[in-house]
Structure 1
Amino acid sequence: MKKIVLASASPRRRELLSQVGITFEVKPASGEERITSTEPSKVVEELSCQKAMFTAHALEKEQADDLADILIIGADTIVSYEGKILGKPSDPKAAVEMLSMLQGNTHQVYTGVTVLVREEKNWKIHTFHECTDVIFYPVTKEEIAEYVNSKDPMDKAGSYGIQGTWGAYVKGIRGDYNNVVGLPVARLIYETKKLGINLRG
């Protein structure tokens, strides 16, 4: 059984892995991220890979001789509306603008996931992405202001968390709910099983 390392500080991703019975350690990624694409699916795949590799390099420095039984999971989530990528809001005004744009409409949530496993002296990279459509009911300016004032949107892509109070305005989704929360765990388990790895032991 490999030791699983999550290259993310996200409490939502930790919770999702724990819910499905995966035992893991947390070692958040640290480094300067660079993207070369404007296509949402490619962006999240690039960022998830970079986060996983940042953690891999950190582990190499800490325990260079004991990496064969380690599996690293990196992930990144973005919101996209009409082809425009919406990251975390820079301030409350940006959060209001994003939510005003998304209310009453359908947008996409992309999560990229990278799994790293050690083969001899190199990391073998397995990357995929999942996309979910999210539809919001129309929302008033007052409801948006109330939510933004709660500070909940400030650390979330697209300025909302589907599992929080903003979930009251979700008309429906097409795809994986957990993907919107931050990690498509069922797809992750499926993809790693194809590699001959059972994340749940």
Structure 2
Amino acid sequence: MLQPVMHVLKRKNIILASGSPRRKELIENIGLKVGLCPSLFEEDLDPKSFNSFAAFVEETALQKVLEVESRLIKQGQAPDIVIGADTMVTLDGELFGKPTSEADAFQMLSRLSGQSHTVYTGVVVKALDKVVKFTEHTNVIFGKMNEEQIKGYIATGEPM
């Protein structure tokens, strides 16, 4: 899909509005070089003010992109393309944010254990004045975990 424009994209300053090495790896796997610039956007949007989980994650991703682009421009490092993403887990119509503590992570993982839930990822790509937004969702069946397994997983730092 990108092959016809890869020669152009390879010359662009592409920034990922994230500190995620995994997201960087995903973009690099398609042959693009990308720099990381974690967003400072305070993720305080109210999910209830959106008509869908997709609209919520897309708007959060957009705000991350706009914050990073603005900051880099002020620093004289205007990017050609900024990519942002936001991922949220939902279970029974409830949105799960990032855990705020290990106790919060334990409660969340305990609720997800043995359940089927949906993960939404909103993506925003901004180049100049053009913005493209899309959302993917995945239904996940989470295996049953006992208390010891949940604590062990939290100890890895991954849920945080």
Q: TM-score normalized by structure 2?
A: 0.82
Pairwise CA RMSD of aligned residues?
A: 1.9
Match of 1:62 in 2: 75
1:97 equivalenced with 2:110 (yes/no): no
Q: TM-score normalized by structure 1?
A: 0.66
Deviation (angstroms), 1:36: 4.6
1:80 equivalenced with 2:90 (yes/no): yes
Amino acid at match of 1:32: E
SS in 1 for 2:105: helix
Pairwise mapping of residues 35-50 of structure 1 onto structure 2 (< 5 A)? Answer: 35-38=45-48, 39-50=52-63
Unaligned segments of structure 1, at least 5 residues: 155-201
Change (3 A) 1:20 1:76: same
Distance 1:28 1:140 in 2: 34
Match of 1:18 among 20, 23, 28: 28
Amino acid at match of 1:143: Q
Match of 1:109 in 2: 119
Q: What count of residue pairs does the alignment treat as equivalent?
A: 147
Match of 1:125 in 2: 131
Match of 1:7 in 2: 17
Match of 2:148 in 1: 142
1:77-117 per-residue CA deviation (whole Å, 9 max, x = no partner) reads: 11111111111211111111111111111011111111111
Q: Structure 1 segments of 4 or more deviating over 6 A?
A: none
Amino acid at match of 2:114: G
Distance 1:91 1:56 in 2: 30
SS in 1 for 2:159: helix
Change (3 A) 1:34 1:136: closer
Match of 2:81 among 71, 78, 85: 71
1:122-168 per-residue CA deviation (whole Å, 9 max, x = no partner) reads: x22211111011102222222222222333322xxxxxxxxxxxxxx
Distance 2:134 2:55 in 1: 9
Distance 2:76 2:158 in 1: 37
Distance 1:102 1:37 in 2: 20
Unaligned segments of structure 2, at least 5 residues: 1-7
Distance 1:100 1:79 in 2: 14
Amino acid at match of 2:85: A
Deviation (angstroms), 1:34: 4.3
